[in-house]
């Protein structure tokens, strides 16, 4: 029983991290109806930004968040305001191309600046564990990931529920035309939404950088994880994001436990296809 | 207007000249032009099939690399382990791609729009993970394709030319047929076209299978040329990014678009081949710039402004 408990604990904790990775993409899909294929790369960009701050100032990666989160807001605002807003329309392909183009550009700039070496954000959290019983342990870093993710999701939820900007964002996502008639500049609202999404991506990037190693081409891996999470949970739903993160992460850790680590991702996607087969719109998705 | 009429009058001449130039390249062209034309033909065939899916059938697939990798591995396994003739194994690769497409369709044809897109990508990603963990295909280290006897460059070039012309002709006739009319009605408005009696599911599945077949064949030829196959490249999303670039830059939903797009792409990648990361960087910047200036792509915009079209999908 204890042997099974460890992958379950790891899965739940990893689920929180997966949820925050996917959150930004889910927000943008729900509001702008856009699949941001550069999400993973923008997230890795913030991992690298944090790396720069950590090595320059010698601060902890978590402290570097105070600078990276605002910077990423402006990055998101710029990406949406200058690039993506111009190609939004009836067809789906031009925004996809712009996002893919952005992803390719980011990857190669990171490659030129930081070389293809694997990096990670060092902190003293990585080695600490809390023992629970004889064989069970609770890595402190995973706990930080889980609660970090939870706090971010809660913050975004409260922001959307209680502020004018949040109401405007939700209105624009429900009915763009009526919102414009009410005097809201929806394009500007979209840019704000992307800014918020990138703030969550900044947190995700730093947490990912502390947990895994990363290199300039890691972005798409996390993009696919985000896909998995929001497809299981339902595109554009925050509840779904959390549920999807937990399900995907549990499927992976349990898959690794029963079949072998090589197949853990494969097992995760298998669960994903089963969910899609039963409920094509995801657990909490609207059609 | 005169220019347009002249162009219309000579459009077959333009096509024939283009065709003759491509056919005779091995005779007059130096090696690097032959190589250029080889890549041009292969990318054109792949992109044209993606165009059939996305531009005409409304099936946004981000998983064409599933067929590319699957067919490439089929060729590698058949020639390496079973010493099958190289061209027979390419054809088997094409048919196995159709089989794979049938299996995929069981899952992903229940989804629509962006779900379909992500579903196809995840399918390709699953194949990547499976092949990189599979001992039979030597895990992630990849396989060498050793045909006996090794085909010469001219043979490979002509087979790639057959793929490009075959893809073009196939697309043209599909679009001019009853299925093509139905497809375009479906792309423009799914519900209305279903109401007037177009069999959505069958037409979409037909296109999906045709595209899988041609993509598989082309990938077989591509890997005969490349000699080496490795799961992370073969099943990588980079393939779809390239196809998206070619088709959207050229003009999505036009027959000529991918021709122009493939030319631009191969030119860029060959020209800047020595500086791989700068080449990709520039490709990204050019893609974004063109799409911001001309959202319909190069040929789409020319068509809109002047009405010039070489191969119209519409019946006249």
Buried-exposed string A134-152: b where 16+ CB fall within 10 A, e elsewhere: eeeeebebbbbbbebbeeb
Q: Which residues of B114-132 are buried (b: 16+ CB within 10 A; e: fewer)?
A: bbbbbbbbbbbbbbbbbbb
Look at residue B301 and tell me whether its pLDDT is greater than 60: yes
B261-to-A72, A104, B41 alpha-carbon distances in Å:
34, 18, 12
Give a yes or no: residue B49 inside a domain.
Answer: yes
Whichever domain contains B183, its CATH number is 1.10.3470
Round to whole Å and give the CA distance between B255 and B182: 17
Which of A100, A101, A112 lies nearest to residue B277, judging by beta carbons?
A: A112
Q: What span, in angstroms and rounded, lies between the C-alpha atoms of A14 and A248?
A: 9
Find the range with the poorest average confidence among A278-282, B213-217, B279-283.
A278-282
Q: B1 pLDDT exceeds 70?
A: no
- Chain B interface, Cβ < 8 Å to A: 54, 60, 107, 110-111, 113-115, 117-119, 121-122, 125-126, 129-130, 133, 237, 241, 244-245, 247-248, 252, 277-278, 280-281, 283-285, 287-288, 291-292, 295
Give tens-digit pLDDT for A55-102: 999 888 889 999 999 999 999 999 999 999 988 876 777 888 899 899
Name the residue with tokens 């990547």. Answer: B128
The two three-digit tokens of residue A65, written as one number: 């968040």
Q: How far apart are CA B309 and CA A78, in angstroms?
A: 37
Q: How far apart are the C-alpha atoms of A268 and A247, rounded to whole Å?
A: 9
Q: Compute the C-alpha angle A145/A148/A150, nearest 5°.
A: 110
- Rounded to 5 degrees, φ, ψ at B215 are -60, -40
Which of the four pLDDT bands, split at 50, 70 and 90, describes residue B69? very high
Residue-wise pLDDT tens digits, A150-204 = 899 999 989 998 999 999 988 888 888 888 888 888 899 999 999 999 999 999 9
Q: Output the six-digit token pair for A129.
A: 């564990």
- Whether residue B313 is contained in a domain is answered as no
Interface test with A, best of B233, B236, B241 (most A CBs within 10 A): B241
Cβ–Cβ below 8 Å for B129 and A266: yes
Query: What do you get for the CA distance between the two ends of chain B, in Å?
Result: 19
**Using alpha carbons only, what angle is made at residue B124 by residues B268 and B95, rounded to the nearest 5 degrees?**
90
Express each pLDDT in A246-259 by its tens digit: 999 999 998 888 88
pLDDT of amino acid A287? 45
When mean pLDDT is compared across A200-209, A228-237, B68-77, the lowest value belongs to A228-237
Query: Residue B6 has what pLDDT?
Result: 66
CA angle A16, A80, B301 (to 5 degrees): 130
As a whole number of angstroms, the longest Cα–Cα distance in chain B is 64
Q: How far is B259 from chain A (nearest CA, A)?
A: 18
Which residue range(s) make up the domain with B64?
Answer: 2-306
Return the higher-pLDDT residue of B316 and A11. Answer: A11
Q: State how far residue B138 is from chain A, nearest Cα, in angstroms.
A: 14
CB contacts under 8 A, A 38-57 vs B, are none
Cα separation of A169 and A188, whole Å?
10
**What contacts 24+ positions apart, CB below 8 Å, involve A264-272?**
A265/B129, A266/B126, A266/B129, A266/B130, A266/B133, A268/A228, A269/A228, A269/B122, A269/B125, A269/B126, A269/B129, A270/B126, A271/A232, A271/A247, A272/A228, A272/A231, A272/A232, A272/A248, A272/B122
pLDDT at residue A216, as a whole number: 92
For chain A, domains (ranges, CATH) are: 2-278 (1.10.3470)
Q: What is the pLDDT of residues B240-254, one digit of tens each?
A: 989 988 998 898 888
Judge whether A231 and A223 are in contact, CB under 8 Å: no
Cβ of B110 within 8 Å of Cβ of A277? The answer is yes
Q: Distances from the Cα of A135 to the Cαs of A32, A138, B1, B70, in angstroms?
A: 47, 10, 82, 43
Mean pLDDT to the nearest integer, B18-34 = 88
pLDDT grade for B316, boundaries at 50, 70 and 90: low
> What is d(CA B289, CA B91) in angstroms, rounded to the nearest whole number?
39
Residue A160 contacts residue A31 (beta carbons within 8 Å): no
Per the model's pLDDT, the better-predicted residue between A235 and B316 turns out to be A235
Query: pLDDT at residue B4 above 70?
Result: no
Contacts (Cβ under 8 Å, ≥6 apart) of B198: B182, B185, B186
CA-based nearest residue to A97, from B239, B268, B279, B284: B284
Question: What tokens were used for A155?
Answer: 């913050």
Nearest CA-CA distance, residue B79 and chain A, Å: 28
**Distance between CA atoms of A206 and A5, rounded to whole angstroms?**
28
Question: Rounded mean pLDDT of chain B?
Answer: 87
pLDDT tens per residue, range B119-169: 898 889 889 989 988 888 888 888 998 877 788 889 999 999 999 999 999
**Which residues lie closer than 8 Å to B209 by C-beta, 6 or more apart?**
B98, B101, B102, B105
At A144, which helix (H) or strand (E)?
helix A140-162
Looking at beta carbons, which residues of chain A come within 8 Å of B295?
87, 89, 94
How many separate domains does chain B show?
A: 1
Helix A39-57 vs helix A61-78: crossing angle, to nearest 10: 140
What's the average model confidence in pLDDT over A207-229? 90
Question: Is the Cβ–Cβ distance between A277 and A231 less than 8 Å?
Answer: no
The answer as to whether B226 is a domain residue is yes
pLDDT at residue A217 is higher than 70: yes
From chain A, the residues in CB contact with B281 under 8 A are 104-105, 108-109, 112
Distance of CA B191 to the CA centre of its chain: 28
Which among A86, A92, A108 has CB closest to B292?
A86
């Amino acid at each position: 029983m204890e042997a099974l408990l460890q992958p379950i604990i790891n899965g739940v904790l990893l689920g929180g991290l997966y949820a925050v990775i996917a959150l930004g993409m889910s927000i943008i899909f729900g509001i702008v109806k856009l699949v941001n294929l550069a999400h993973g790369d923008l997230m890795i960009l913030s991992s690298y930004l944090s790396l720069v701050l950590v090595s320059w100032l010698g601060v902890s990666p978590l402290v570097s968040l105070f600078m990276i989160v605002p910077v990423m807001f402006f990055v998101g605002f710029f990406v949406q305001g200058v690039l993506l807003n111009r190609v939004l329309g009836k067809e789906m392909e031009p925004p996809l191309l712009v996002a893919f183009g952005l992803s390719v550009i980011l990857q190669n700039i990171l490659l030129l600046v930081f070389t293809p070496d694997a990096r990670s954000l060092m902190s003293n959290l990585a080695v600490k564990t809390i023992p629970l019983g004889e064989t069970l342990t609770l890595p402190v870093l995973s706990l930080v990931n889980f609660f970090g993710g939870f706090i971010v999701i809660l913050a975004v939820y409260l922001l959307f529920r209680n502020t004018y900007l949040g109401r405007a964002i939700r209105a624009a996502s429900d009915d763009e035309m009526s919102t414009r008639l009410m005097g809201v500049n929806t394009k500007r609202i979209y840019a704000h939404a992307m800014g918020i999404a990138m703030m969550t991506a900044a947190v995700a990037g730093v947490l990912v950088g502390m947990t895994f190693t990363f290199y300039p081409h890691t972005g798409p891996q996390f993009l696919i994880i985000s896909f998995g999470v929001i497809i299981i949970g339902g595109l554009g739903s925050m509840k779904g994001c959390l549920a999807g993160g937990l399900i995907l992460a549990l499927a992976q850790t349990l898959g690794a436990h029963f079949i072998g680590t090589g197949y853990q991702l494969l097992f995760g996607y298998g669960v994903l296809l089963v969910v899609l087969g039963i409920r094509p719109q995801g657990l909490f998705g609207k059609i | 207007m005169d220019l347009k009429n002249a162009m219309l009058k000579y459009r077959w001449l333009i096509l024939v000249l283009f065709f003759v130039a491509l056919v005779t390249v091995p005779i007059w062209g130096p090696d690097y032009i032959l190589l250029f034309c080889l890549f041009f033909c292969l990318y054109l065939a792949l992109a044209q099939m993606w165009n059939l899916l996305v531009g005409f059938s409304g099936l946004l697939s981000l998983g064409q690399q599933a067929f590319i990798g699957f067919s490439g591995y089929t060729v590698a396994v058949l020639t390496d382990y079973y010493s099958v003739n190289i061209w027979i194994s390419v054809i088997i690769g094409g048919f196995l791609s159709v089989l794979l497409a049938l299996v995929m369709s069981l899952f992903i044809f229940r989804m629509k729009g962006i779900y379909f897109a992500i579903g196809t990508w995840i399918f390709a990603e699953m194949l990547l993970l499976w092949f990189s963990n599979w001992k039979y295909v030597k895990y992630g280290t990849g396989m060498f394709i050793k045909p006996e006897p090794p085909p010469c460059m001219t043979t490979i070039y002509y087979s790639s030319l057959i793929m490009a012309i075959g893809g073009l002709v196939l697309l043209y006739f599909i679009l001019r047929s009853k299925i093509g009319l139905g497809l375009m009605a479906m792309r423009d408005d799914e519900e209305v076209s279903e109401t007037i009696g177009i069999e959505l599911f069958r037409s979409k599945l037909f296109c999906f299978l045709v595209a899988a077949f041609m993509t598989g064949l082309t990938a077989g030829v591509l890997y005969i040329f490349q000699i080496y196959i490795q799961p992370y490249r073969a099943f990588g999303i980079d393939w779809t990014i390239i196809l998206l670039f070619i088709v959207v830059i050229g003009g999505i939903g036009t027959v000529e678009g991918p021709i122009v797009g493939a030319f631009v792409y191969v030119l860029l990648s060959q020209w800047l081949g020595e500086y791989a990361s700068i080449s990709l960087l520039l490709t990204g910047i050019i893609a974004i710039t063109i799409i911001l200036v001309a959202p319909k792509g190069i040929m789409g915009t020319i068509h809109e402004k002047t009405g010039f079209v070489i191969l119209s999908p519409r019946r006249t």
